[in-house]
Structure 1
Amino acid sequence: MFEAQASAKFCSYQCSARSKAARKTECTCEECGSTFLPAYGDKRRNFCSEFCAKRHFKRVTKGVVRARSYGAEAEPINPIAVMDRDGWTCHICGEEAPRELRGTMRWNAPELDHIIPLSAGGSHTYDNVACAHRSCNLEKGDALPPGWADPQRLWVHRGSGGIA
């Protein structure tokens, strides 16, 4: 029979461990999407491994370093979150940008595009970035969106010298 002090919640260490194991919930890795059980005492873990954590933070902070080199306002941006927000659709041509091509060199691979380019004074914030195809982003170059001050500079490819 179990007789415990008033502050005791479990009869033994084994009962305590079973209770903790039952309360553990699976988490989803923010980088690779796999499910995992966090280690003991690590309830707020967002990544399944150190590799995924380093890969995520490298990808998220790369744009901040580049934006600061231009002297622009910058915040850490998760490109995958932007692609999800935009429905994996190119904001320039309106066609689908296949998720499985992310990170490849294919012409229709989705990329992060600065709507107002960093070189034109744009910021590296969620309000100024959108999903674009690699080819559309290259074609746009450092041009400003339609309706901005200099109409000769709108959507001009760097090498062509004319309106695209």
Structure 2
Amino acid sequence: MSSVIVCKNCGVETVSRYSTTKFCSDACRAKFNKKNKGRKQTCKYCGNEFRNYKIRDCCSIHCKNEYKKELTIRKKKDHKVEKVCFCCKKSFITTKNNKIYCSKNCSYEHQKEVLRQKKDLKKSQHQKKCKECGKHFVSNRMRATFCSKVCSNKYENRRRELIRRKRIMANGRVDWSISIERLLKRDGSICYLCHKSFDLYTDTNDDYYPSIEHVIPISKGGTHTWDNVKLAHRKCNTLKRDKILKRGS
């Protein structure tokens, strides 16, 4: 059974099969809902009236962001903390939680004082005990551990020699009887790398004094045995480093 209804949007009378119909078409329903959706509300930022089914503070995203900024500024202005200056020890009021100085002048003066204390600490002398010889000495460096460069070199050379010996023993069998004098008797006084003679009457640290050279380096798994050692100049030994030379080269 059809009934006559009046459109709620345009006011035109229409015939409908349902008594609950309120609009003559979907377009009228959309226009009415657009105008009258939700409850009336007032934007807290711009003050304009708007409609929405949910309770909101602002009419748009732009108004919402600007309103949040205003709130944070108000909170900062309202939030005040009483603090004591780290430099002059006077009380002051601030809105920042991380502020420790009452003025820039106090901050500058305190930094100057800290730098002066650091300089005085560097100049001050400290009683130390040498790590190598055990003698007591005075130094202006807090981390000083040796009384002289000689003691420092001795300690470093011994440390390196211990590390080298550990590597040698880790590679396998070791012949501790190997020496420069015995290698001179076995191989003669010629460097096996450059094929030139040694200078036996110079200083032991000279570039052309003989040294024990491992054919297969210790770092590459070579052993400290008679079949893996030969004599070479200190300079040639240094230049070869940890290379493995091919036969005939």
Give the TM-score normalised by structure 2. Answer: 0.31
Choose between structure 1 and 2 for higher RCO, CA contacts under 8 A separated by at least 6 residues: 1
Give the TM-score normalised by structure 1. Answer: 0.46
Question: Which structure: larger Rg?
Answer: 2
